[in-house]
Every structure is written in structure tokens, then in C-alpha cells.
Amino acid sequence: MEKQLHVITTGRQNDDVLVKIATIIHPYMTMLHVREKTKSAKEVSHLIERLQKAGVPSSKMIVNDRVDVALCTGVKGVQLTHRSLDVSQVRRALPEMMIGSSVHSVSEAQDAEHNGADFIMYGHIFKTASKRDAEPRGIDQLQYVVDQTTIPVIAIGGITPENVQNVIKTGASGIAVMSGILEAKSPLQAVKLYKQQLEVWDAHNV
């Protein structure tokens, strides 16, 4: 199965910049996660509407945390975190919605799968500026999570084009990138580099 590339907004860019970048890079990514923790539900909804009008497909958008916004804007799904509603609650209420769950241990990953998540996001794998105080979990722990679950695992945290192959070797279904793409000098060039590394893997492991 083709490996996935998820791009996650950083919360550090204004809407104009974000919409401009997303319009250019969306053909090369699997999903865009709208992760804007400081914005209100109304602000996140307006941002998604702008992205939709700019041509970013709803089928490629996932909203972080806000189930209400995901439902009302008609995007593909929602990414739930430790502060969100429980996966089981959302699955019962919205059986058709794609649900991702952010996890940090094997037990959390297994709980998410048991409760109906479609995929899990696990990290952080490598050192990253956004998690300076926390030790990275590393490739071995990622491998363990992949081995102990059956739903897709998306790896996140400090992933660069240079280490993509090592991440995917674990059996992870894809990678998630934030600043490595959205804050690159050329987001288009960056997204193409990541996509290229995933395609190299796919080509050699059909």
C-alpha cells in the first residue's frame, strides 16, 4: 500500500500564508491536518472554508481535536488527542467519520484501535524543536507500536527526508511533518522531497 504523507499546520502561520502554501502543496500530500490550538471553532471553520475555496479537497483535510468543526465543514476526519473526546464516543456518534488518534505508548495505541480509530499517530520519533523537553521515543519503540497494532501507524516528530527510509522500514504506514514542510524556504520543494523518499520505498517494496 502506498505510504502516506500527512502535513500538519504549525499554528505559527497566518491564514493567508497557510492557504497560499496549502494550495501549492496539496497534490503531493495525503492529508492536511488543521491543527490550530489557539483558534476558536469559528476561526478554524473559516480557515477550512478558505482552504476549500482555494482548491484544497475536503477529502484531504483532517481537523485536530474539534469534532464539531470537522462535522460542520464536511472534511474527511478528525484527529483526537488526550484532551479530546474519547475515540469510542466519536465512533458511536459518527460511524462514517475518519478518526485518527494521537498516542504515545503501546497501550494507548491498542486502546485507540480497540475503540474504533482508523489510524494512530505516534511520536515523537526523533528530537524536535517543538518537544525540546521530552526524550524522543525512537525507531525501536515505533517498531514495537507497529508490531502490536493492526491499524495504520503514522510516525511524527523530527522526521526529515534523510531519515524517512528508516522510519518506513518499521512498517509504519506513513509520516507526518509540520515545520519541515510548512516552514521550509520552499514548501513545494520540501514536500516533493518527502514524497520522493516515500515513492522510492514504494517502488522497491511493491
Q: Which sign does the torsion angle of CA 63, 57, 54, 199 carry?
A: positive
Is 131 assigned to a binding site?
yes
| Active site (annotated) includes residue 124 | yes
Give the residue from 189, 198, 149, 143 showing the smallest Cα distance to 170: 143
Domain 4-199 -> CATH class: alpha beta
Is 133 assigned to a binding site?
no
For 48-84, write each residue's pLDDT tens digit.
999 999 999 999 999 999 999 999 999 999 999 999 9
Give the residue from 105, 108, 110, 111 showing the smallest Cα distance to 123: 105
Give the residue from 107, 64, 96, 109 showing the smallest Cα distance to 83: 64
Catalytic residue among 6, 114, 124, 204: 124
Q: How far apart are CA 108 and CA 59, in angstroms?
A: 27
Tell me what pLDDT residue 183 has. Answer: 96
Is 129 assigned to a binding site?
yes
Q: Where are the domains of the chain?
A: 4-199
User: Looking at 4-18, 52-66, 125-139, which range is the least confident one?
Assistant: 125-139
Is 102 strand, coil or helix? strand
